[in-house]
Amino acid sequence: MSRLVLVLGDQLSEGLSALRAADPERDVVVMAEVAEEAGYVAHHPKKIALIFAAMRKFAARLRDAGWELRYTALDDTENSGSIPGELLRRAEELGASEVIATQPGEFRLIAALDEMGLKVTQLTDDRFLTDLDWFEDWARGRKSLRMEYFYREMRKSTGYLMEEGKPAGGQWNFDHDNRKPAPGEIAASGPMRFTPDETVEEVLDLVERRFGNSFGETRPFWFATDQGEARRALTHFVKTALPRFGDYQDAMMGEERFLYHGVISGYMNIGLLDPREVCDAVEAAWRAGDVPINAAEGFIRQVIGWREYMRAIYFREGPEYPRRNWLNHQRGLPPLYWGAETRMRCLAKAVEQTREEAYAHHIQRLMVTGNFALLAGIDPAEVEEWYMRVYFDAFEWVTAPNTVGMSQFADGGVIASKPYVSSGSYIDRMSDYCGDCAYSVKTKTGEGACPFNLLYWHFMDRHRERFAKNPRMAQMYATWDRMGAEKQETIRNEAEDFLRRLSDGEVV
């Protein structure tokens, strides 16, 4: 009797463990565009288009490779609307009683497969480099987990950028060489853009019709939608942007959306690129002398370090992790996150590019939209939902630890050793946003004061009990204490007034 082989929309890899375990002679692959996955959050239309187009092309590839396949398009009249529903329908149609799957990247779907009443084998997703049992052993007994130590283990076990057992360049981490401010101009053309073919056009029409009211522009659409295109995008990145990636990793520019970033996270997360091939390409460019060590190390650290670490934390912490709220932040997400008018140029530009591209780079996510949400005390569950909705690379295994943990400190410090908060001066140093802003970044209180300046101290003050003992924050509390009672009171009052106006829906 044939078995069903489930391939999800973020499992588009020929080497997927479920496909490896199956037999093309007798087993049938099931792929389905379903309302439940497209609707559990109102994803950016570009993300849905990327996934559906890539699913359709991957299905064609599997058929060409000899697999028998049942594909359900979103508009199919028989479509049951969910992954378990489609598996049950196909099981009945084909007389199958067993499903082979690669474990999904979200607890919700793992549980749904377990509970659906067919025998489902969920295999390890070994597209990731970290064995989760190994991570558990590594983590157990440590007082606190820090990415840096995990990363060193990953460097040793993968051998990336290692020379005779030692880190290339004599250091594990070149983070200090990754912090140049925004350059005057950019010497790269941005990510490789692909003209939509017939399949992509069909999907774009479908998405506009079914999801046109969601936040985000569907067109222009230029993402890679198959493995070949994604590989070309990777090669283009390594050649044109990677050499300067290290220097300008943290820089932000109002009119340059991509700077020297890869814009490949979405391709890795849905399986069009394998993290190993990405790191191989980066290491080869460094060995050939085409990119400096701070760029190669900085990039590989993100992929074998942060990306793997975030996933391992998600699975270790469990299904309740995305709902944590250690700081008890309760404010609703302000409409400016959905494009409502704001006078804060940094936020306006980050949200504008998010709406148009379904993309913002790491520092925009962490130090602009994330920083503001944390300072303003927004409910982290609403923040997490926003990130899930708006980015092309958002899947719970990676979005939750980045937002709930790294960005909002809602896990109480599982991921970050201190909250990622800053006043306007950090944004000013790393970007060209402030020059044209209605607020003045140099003004700390009073007329025109940058809201980040006020909110930063308000955050420190209101959470003093939680953070005063953190040695990494002691200096900031000493600065706050030196300000004197009168100045502190002014900051408190002006910050409260700003937060009240924010909650009242005024343009701030």
Residues contributing to the site for ligand SF4 (CB under 6 A): 344-346, 424, 427-428, 433-434, 437, 439, 441, 450-452
How far is 84 from 93, CA to CA, in rounded Å? 14
* Piece of the chain touching ligand DLZ by CB under 6 A; list 100-108, 288-296, 310-318, 403-411: 100-108
3 state DSSP class of 71: strand
Q: Nearer to ligand SF4 by C-beta: 252 or 410?
A: 252
- How far is CA 177 from each of CA 43, 71, 122, 245, rounded to the nearest angstrom? 35, 48, 42, 11
Q: How far is the CB of 492 from ligand FAD (least distance, A)?
A: 27
Q: Which amino acid is at 130?
A: T
* Piece of the chain touching ligand FAD by CB under 6 A; list 46-54, 134-142, 150-158, 392-400: 392-400
In 261-290, which positions are buried (b, 16+ CB within 10 angstroms) versus exposed (e)?
bbbbbbbbbbbbbbbeebbebbbebbeeee
Pick from 80, 178, 302, 423 the residue near ligand FAD by CB under 6 A: 302
How far is 407 from 411, CA to CA, in rounded Å? 10
Q: How far is the CB of 363 from ligand FAD (least distance, A)?
A: 8
**Residue 34 within binding range of ligand DLZ, rule CB under 6 A:** yes
**Residue 403 within binding range of ligand FAD, rule CB under 6 A:** yes
Q: Are 315 and 269 in contact (CB under 8 A)?
A: no
Binding mask 215-254 for ligand DLZ (x = CB under 6 A): ----------------------------------------
Q: Nearer to ligand FAD by C-beta: 309 or 467?
A: 309
In this structure, what token pair is assigned to residue 116?
């659906």
Q: How far is the CB of 106 from ligand DLZ (least distance, A)?
A: 4
- Helix (H) or strand (E) holding 390, with range, is helix 380-390
**Residue 264 within binding range of ligand FAD, rule CB under 6 A:** yes
**Residue 306 within binding range of ligand FAD, rule CB under 6 A:** yes
Phi, psi (degrees; rounded to nearest 5) at 319: -60, -20
Q: Which amino acid is at 447?
A: E
* Piece of the chain touching ligand DLZ by CB under 6 A; list 4-12, 180-188, 337-345, 421-429: 4-12
DSSP 34-68: -HHHHHTTT--HHHHHHHHHHHHHHHHHHHHTT-E
**Residue 38 within binding range of ligand DLZ, rule CB under 6 A:** yes
**Residue 269 within binding range of ligand FAD, rule CB under 6 A:** yes
**Residue 86 within binding range of ligand DLZ, rule CB under 6 A:** no
Q: Which amino acid is at 374?
A: L
Q: How far is the CB of 58 from ligand DLZ (least distance, A)?
A: 11
Listed residue (328, 325, 351) closest to 340, CA to CA: 351
Listed residue (189, 192, 184) closest to 260, CA to CA: 189
- Residues forming the site for ligand DLZ (CB under 6 A): 8-10, 32-34, 37-38, 43, 48, 51, 83, 104-106, 109, 395
- Residues forming the site for ligand FAD (CB under 6 A): 261-265, 268-269, 299, 302-303, 306-307, 310, 361-362, 365-366, 370, 387, 391, 393-394, 398-399, 402-403, 406-407
